[in-house]
Amino acid sequence: MQIYATWIFYAVLNDVCADVAVALQQPLERISLEMVFRSLYFFHRALLQNPQLQLIPWLVEHQRSMGLVKAVRRCR
């Protein structure tokens, strides 16, 4: 049962990452799955203060401070 819950959570997290990628006009590969996951805690804290908040617009607004977009590395 726990494995199914993990798969469902991972699928939802991937879907959120895809929505963030579209909103930021970035390829999905540039969106950090781990940082989106970590930012959910901060979104929850903000949501407690303002119940009108929406997840994707909030993530887009705070994408820089949350580190959602991976840096481009130069090849040598």
Q: Which distant-in-sequence residues (6+ apart) come within 8 Å of 46 by Cβ?
A: 53, 58
Which residues touch 52 (CB under 8 Å, ≥6 apart)?
none
- pLDDT at residue 75, rounded to an integer: 82
pTM of the entire structure? Answer: 0.88
Residue 31 lies in a domain: yes
pLDDT of residue 61: 96
- What pLDDT was estimated at residue 56? 97
As for how many domains the chain has, the answer is 1
Which pLDDT does position 1 carry in this prediction?
80
Low-confidence ranges of the chain (pLDDT < 50): none
* C-alpha span between 21 and 32 (Å, rounded): 10
Is 73 a domain residue? Answer: no
The end-to-end CA distance of the chain, in Å, is: 47
Range of the domain at 16: 2-66
Is position 72 within any domain? no
